[in-house]
Chain A
Amino acid sequence: MTLGVVLTLLALIWLWLVNTQIPDVATDGEPGPRALPMLLGIILAILGVALALSRTAGPPAGEDGSSSAEPAPRTQADPPTARTALATFALLVAYAFLLGKIGFMSATAALMLAAMGGVLGMRRWVFMIVFAVAFAAGTWLVFSTLLGIPLPRDPWLASLQ
Chain B
Amino acid sequence: MDTLLQALAAATQPAVLAATTVGAIVGLVVSAVPGLTFSMALILVMPFTFGMEPVPAIAMLFGVYSGGMTGGAVSAVLIGIPGTPSAAATVFDGYAMARKGEASVALGASVIASAFGGLFSLGVMVLLLEQVAAVAIRFGPAEIFALVLFGLSTICGLAERSLLRGLTAGVLGLMVMTIGLDELDGVGRLTFGTVELQQGVHMLVAMIGLFAIPNVIEAFANHGHVTREIVTEEVRGVLPWSRLRGYWGLMTRASIIGTIIGAVPGGGGPIASFLAYDHARRFSKRPEDYGRGEIGGVVAPEAANNAVMGGALIPLLSLGIPADAATAIILGGLLIHGLEPGPLLFQTSLDIIYALYVTVMLSWVVILLAQVVGIRLFVKVLKVPAYLLGVCILVLCGIGAFAARNSVFDVYTMALFGLGGYLLQRVRIPVAPVVLGLVLGPTLEQQYRTALILSEGSHRIFLESPFALAMFALTVLLAGWQIVSSFRARRGVPSSEVIS
- Chain A window 24-49, contacts with chain B (Cβ cutoff 8 Å), 1 for yes, 0 for no: 01111111110011001101100110
Tell yes or no: A130 within 8 A of B by CB.
no
Please give, as numbers and ranges, the residues of chain A lying within 8 Å of B456 by CB-CB distance.
28-29
Contact A135 B392 (CB under 8 A): yes
Give chain B nearest CB distance to A127 CB in angstroms.
Answer: 10
Tell yes or no: A22 within 8 A of B by CB.
yes
Residue of A23, A26, A47, A74 with highest tally of chain B CB at under 10 A? A47
Contact B187 A43 (CB under 8 A): no
Q: For the complex, what is the distance from the CA of A27 to the CA of B185, rounded to whole Å?
A: 7
Contact A37 B185 (CB under 8 A): no
- Chain A window 105-146, contacts with chain B (Cβ cutoff 8 Å), 1 for yes, 0 for no: 000100110011001110000000001000110010001000
Contact B453 A151 (CB under 8 A): no
Contact B81 A92 (CB under 8 A): no
What is the size category of the interface that chain B forms with chain A?
35 or more
Using known A-B contacts A22-B187, A99-B398, A135-B392, determine if residue A69 contacts B158 with beta carbons closer than 8 Å.
yes
- Chain B window 423-439, contacts with chain A (Cβ cutoff 8 Å), 1 for yes, 0 for no: 00111101111000000
What is the size category of the interface that chain A forms with chain B?
35 or more
Contact A69 B430 (CB under 8 A): yes
Q: From A146, which residue of chain B is reached at the shortest CB distance? A: B44
Please give, as numbers and ranges, the residues of chain A lying within 8 Å of B67 by CB-CB distance.
none
Q: For the complex, what is the distance from the CA of A40 to the CA of B169, rounded to whole Å?
A: 11
Contact B398 A85 (CB under 8 A): no
Please give, as numbers and ranges, the residues of chain A lying within 8 Å of B399 by CB-CB distance.
139, 143, 149, 151
Tell yes or no: A21 within 8 A of B by CB.
yes
Tell yes or no: B292 within 8 A of A by CB.
yes
Tell yes or no: A72 within 8 A of B by CB.
yes
Give chain A nearest CB distance to B218 CB in angstroms.
Answer: 6
Tell yes or no: B387 within 8 A of A by CB.
yes
Contact B415 A61 (CB under 8 A): no
Contact A71 B81 (CB under 8 A): yes
Q: For the complex, what is the distance from the CA of A61 to the CA of B397, rounded to whole Å?
A: 33
Contact B211 A88 (CB under 8 A): no
Please give, as numbers and ranges, the residues of chain A lying within 8 Å of B222 by CB-CB distance.
75
Using known A-B contacts A88-B217, A96-B415, determine if residue A70 contacts B431 with beta carbons closer than 8 Å.
yes
Contact A80 B221 (CB under 8 A): yes
Q: From B398, which residue of chain A is reached at the shortest CB distance? A: A95
Give chain A nearest CB distance to B398 CB in angstroms.
Answer: 6
Contact among A87, A108, A136, A148 with B44 in the assembled complex (CB-CB below 8 Å): A148
Contact A99 B411 (CB under 8 A): yes
Please give, as numbers and ranges, the residues of chain B lying within 8 Å of A12 by CB-CB distance.
none
- Name the interface residues of B158-178: CB closer than 8 Å to any CB of A: 158-162, 164-168, 171-172, 174-175, 178
- Chain B window 163-200, contacts with chain A (Cβ cutoff 8 Å), 1 for yes, 0 for no: 01111100110110010001011010111100000000
Residue of A7, A30, A93, A116 with highest tally of chain B CB at under 10 A? A30
Give chain B nearest CB distance to A137 CB in angstroms.
Answer: 12
Tell yes or no: B128 within 8 A of A by CB.
no
Contact B425 A69 (CB under 8 A): no
- Name the interface residues of B388-440: CB closer than 8 Å to any CB of A: 388, 390-392, 394-399, 402-403, 406, 408-409, 411-412, 414-416, 418-419, 422, 425-428, 430-433
- Name the interface residues of B335-392: CB closer than 8 Å to any CB of A: 387-388, 390-392
Using known A-B contacts A29-B455, A67-B161, determine if residue A44 contacts B398 with beta carbons closer than 8 Å.
no
Using known A-B contacts A37-B175, A70-B425, A71-B211, determine if residue A93 contacts B290 with beta carbons closer than 8 Å.
no
Contact A7 B160 (CB under 8 A): no
Q: From A81, which residue of chain B is reached at the shortest CB distance? A: B221
Q: For the complex, what is the distance from the CA of A33 to the CA of B91, rounded to whole Å?
A: 34
Please give, as numbers and ranges, the residues of chain A lying within 8 Å of B189 by CB-CB distance.
18, 21-22, 33, 37
Tell yes or no: B494 within 8 A of A by CB.
yes
Q: For the complex, what is the distance from the CA of A50 to the CA of B498, rounded to whole Å?
A: 14
Tell yes or no: B70 within 8 A of A by CB.
no
Contact B391 A115 (CB under 8 A): yes
Tell yes or no: B215 within 8 A of A by CB.
yes
Contact among A40, A54, A131 with B178 in the assembled complex (CB-CB below 8 Å): A40
Please give, as numbers and ranges, the residues of chain A lying within 8 Å of B191 by CB-CB distance.
21
Please give, as numbers and ranges, the residues of chain A lying within 8 Å of B494 by CB-CB distance.
60
Tell yes or no: B452 within 8 A of A by CB.
yes
Contact B398 A51 (CB under 8 A): no
Contact B495 A58 (CB under 8 A): no
Please give, as numbers and ranges, the residues of chain B lying within 8 Å of A51 by CB-CB distance.
164-165, 168, 500
Tell yes or no: A77 within 8 A of B by CB.
yes
Give chain A nearest CB distance to B219 CB in angstroms.
Answer: 9
The 9 A-B pairs of least Cβ separation, nearest first, read A68-B291, A29-B457, A92-B415, A96-B411, A33-B182, A71-B91, A30-B449, A30-B452, A84-B221
Other than the given A36-B445, A51-B168, A69-B430, 13 more pairs (CB < 8 A) read: A4-B500, A7-B168, A28-B456, A47-B168, A51-B164, A69-B159, A69-B291, A71-B95, A88-B213, A91-B394, A92-B397, A119-B220, A149-B44
